[in-house]
Amino acid sequence: MPAAGHRVDEVLKGPIKSKTLFPVLLLHMVKTRPDHGYGLMQRIDSLCGGLVAVNTNKIYPLLRRLEERGFLDASWDHPTKRSRRIYRITPEGDARLERIKSGMLPYLDVIVKAVSDLKNELYGLAVS
């Protein structure tokens, strides 16, 4: 059993799920560099190596919710016509990001340990 008494399937199905993972990724990425929805999808896909399914049906509604809640601010990249909405983090979004990250770290550590233990068991190698 992984550290902290959590089974890996409990961690993946519980605290670390799209409801938490996507908001923290979006807030983090927008804090790092403001971007539009498709650009954010590409960045998440690149970061996660395709492990996390990213699609427009998840990302765009979530971006709208984060904007409605005051965590993101968005503006059109062209002032006179509708084009791409560029998202930026707000001070409230930055505070939310830090709250999510502080609670997520123990679960990420559990996942890393579980993968390391599995790799070590099968191949005699630790995750590097």
pLDDT of residue 12: 52
Query: What's the pTM?
Result: 0.75
| Residue 35 DSSP label | B
pLDDT in tens, 51-110: 777 888 889 999 999 999 999 999 988 777 778 999 999 999 999 999 988 888 887 888
Closest CA to 27 of 85, 105, 98, 106: 98
Closest CA to 116 of 105, 107, 125: 125
pLDDT of residue 35: 96
Which comes out higher in pLDDT, residue 11 or 22?
A: 22
Which comes out higher in pLDDT, residue 34 or 17?
A: 34
Give all domains of the chain, ordered by start, each with its CATH number: 16-103 (1.10.10.10)
